Structure 1
Amino acid sequence: MDIMALLSDPAAWAALFTLIVLEVVLGVDNLIFIAIISNKLPEHQQQRARRIGLILALVMRLGLLTLIGWLVTLQTPLFDLGIQGGINEYNGEPTFETALSGRDLILLAGGLFLLWKATKEIHHNMEPKERSDDVLNKHKKAVQLTFGAAIAQIIVLDMVFSIDSILTAVGMTDELPIMVTAVVITVGIMLVAADPLAKFIENNPTLVMLALAFLVMIGAVLVADAFGFHVPKGYIYAAMGFSVGVEVLNIFKRNRLRKTEIEATA
């Protein structure tokens, strides 16, 4: 179908809108990870790291779109571990699969990396704060990332999330212009949202732990997905939305209490 025919086709516009919404939702995981990693850099490097991370995500997604034929072959099983899974009593399908494809291996590696990284960050956040200045400075040096290391970690997760994103796009429509447009608009939205999200997380330390918990959950879901145990994304994002809503109420409550205390002492 040519461009003019697509522009005049209501179904194409509906597919584009639906795909943008799905891509934005799927991009939240990517954005949270980039925000947490970039916030560990010196302040003057943070915005640049977020920009580079998201531009790389765009480049990867557009590159994968040009290799759709190869990307689809990633879903062909490469080998089978030979472990028998149970059978789902509702649909008769296996509860998990051990015939792993290229996509499964990428999801498995990305999920394990995310579990390791998020758990490591939680460990650092749980460290006691009552330390001498020397010990605290030594601790900060130990956990501080170099700019190159931050970009390298962002690239690894960009690849995982990009493959998941493009496979979703391929499942939604066969029209390449629609997929390209949706990807460009989605990454544009993420570029606009990246700095405010990172700043919001930085200004509300309790949200860091919540975001890291999300990343642990997402890592576990990626590993499960690699073995054929598909968790509906709606459940995941509904849980994330509910948790964020509760935490936002807590933030409002703390701010109001702080304001009341300031007024009482004035």
Structure 2
Amino acid sequence: MPIIDFLAPHFAFVNDPTAWVALVTLVVLEIVLGIDNLIFISILTNKLPAEQQSRARKLGISAALIMRLVLLATISFIVQLTTPVFSAFGHGFSWRDIILIAGGLFLVWKATKEIHHTVDPEDHKDSMVGATVKLSMGAAIFQILLLDLVFSVDSIITAVGMTDEIVIMYIAVIAAVTVMMVAADPLAKFIAKNPTIVMLALGFLLMIGMTLIADGMGYHVPKGYIYAAMGFSALVEGLNMLARKRKVKGHGE
């Protein structure tokens, strides 16, 4: 059968234990990298009318999946994005660096605007996306795709360094986006119900934005440090939430 004969070489890795290790590692990596994007999606879509939020998240993540698969199909071009196109301040800047810096600036600007709006809710003109009624589903999906483009380029280049099997990359991307799809609604609802989590999440976005800018400028910050800081902050906030819950329960009794 021609189709089986065509697909067989692409799935030859199933008999290679090291390929399975690469697949599992890449899936975990894609999921971890997707956390940043998921936080942004949750905060952004929570600005929409309640009846549109879940649909916007699903459409945005689905469109992001299609975009990632298309980018994987042009992987030979993506890899070339690491070639310096000009030099400044003693550093050779590639298209990847430019994309990371632009994405980082975008995140810093968005997070700063929303933090300002959270601190001063009366000043709607400085909110992340303006007043809720001014944000359309199309605008939300566009912003989701814009940021996902930045993370996609970075994750694909990382994936190339881990495996040469394009099928493994496709499987890892599909698995990671599926997890994002399942986790999107619960995470968004959790953020919406806990105001202090919103500020913490915005702080994460601000840190991630600065990290992207630093990476684009040639100063690589190990991802382990970033996620360790995020995990520690989340743990402290979890303890604060537990303490508040116990305090409220104590007053109730």
The two structures have a TM-score, normalised by structure 1, of: 0.86
Deviation sequence 1:36-70 (CA, Å, 0-9, x none): 00011110110111111211221121111110110
User: 1:169, 1:179 within 8 Å by CA — same for their partners in 2?
Assistant: yes
Aligned-pair CA distance for 1:2: 2.2
Aligned-partner Cα distance in 2 for 1:68–1:4:
18
Pairs within 5 Å for 1:72-83: 72-81=79-88, 83=89
Q: Which residue of 1 is the match for residue 115 of structure 2?
A: 122
SS of 2:117's equivalent in the other structure is helix
Name the amino acid aligned to 1:27. Answer: G
Q: Which residue of 1 is the match for residue 214 of structure 2?
A: 224
Aligned-partner Cα distance in 1 for 2:46–2:130:
15
- Is 1:161 the counterpart of 2:142 in the alignment? no
Q: Which residue of 2 is the match for residue 188 of structure 1?
A: 178
User: 1:115, 1:216 within 8 Å by CA — same for their partners in 2?
Assistant: yes
Q: Structure 1 residue aligned with 2:202, among 206, 212, 225? A: 212
Q: Which residue of 2 is the match for residue 198 of structure 1?
A: 188
Aligned-partner Cα distance in 2 for 1:151–1:4:
34
Q: Which residue of 1 is the match for residue 131 of structure 2?
A: 143
Aligned-pair CA distance for 1:178: 0.6
- Is 1:244 the counterpart of 2:234 in the alignment? yes
Aligned-pair CA distance for 1:5: 2.7
The two structures have a TM-score, normalised by structure 2, of: 0.91
User: 1:56, 1:158 within 8 Å by CA — same for their partners in 2?
Assistant: no
Q: Which residue of 2 is the match for residue 94 of structure 1?
A: none
Taking every aligned residue pair, what percent have the same amino acid on both sides?
59
Aligned-pair CA distance for 1:146: 2.1
Q: Which residue of 2 is the match for residue 152 of structure 1?
A: 142
Name the amino acid aligned to 2:84. Answer: P
- Is 1:235 the counterpart of 2:189 in the alignment? no
Q: Structure 2 residue aligned with 1:173, among 152, 156, 163? A: 163
Choose 1 or 2 for highest CA Rg: 1
User: 4+ residue runs of structure 1 moved beyond 2 angstroms?
Assistant: 1-5
Aligned-partner Cα distance in 1 for 2:130–2:223:
36
Name the amino acid aligned to 2:82. Answer: Q
Aligned-partner Cα distance in 2 for 1:230–1:71:
20
* Cα distance change, pair 42–79 in 1 and its aligned pair in 2 (3 A): same
Aligned-partner Cα distance in 1 for 2:21–2:178:
19
Stretch of structure 1 that moved more, 113-122 or 163-172:
163-172
Aligned-pair CA distance for 1:4: 4.8
Structure having the higher helix fraction is 2
Aligned-partner Cα distance in 2 for 1:148–1:2:
40
Gaps of 5+ in 1: 85-96
Size of the aligned set, in residue pairs, is: 242
Question: RMSD between aligned alpha carbons?
Answer: 1.9
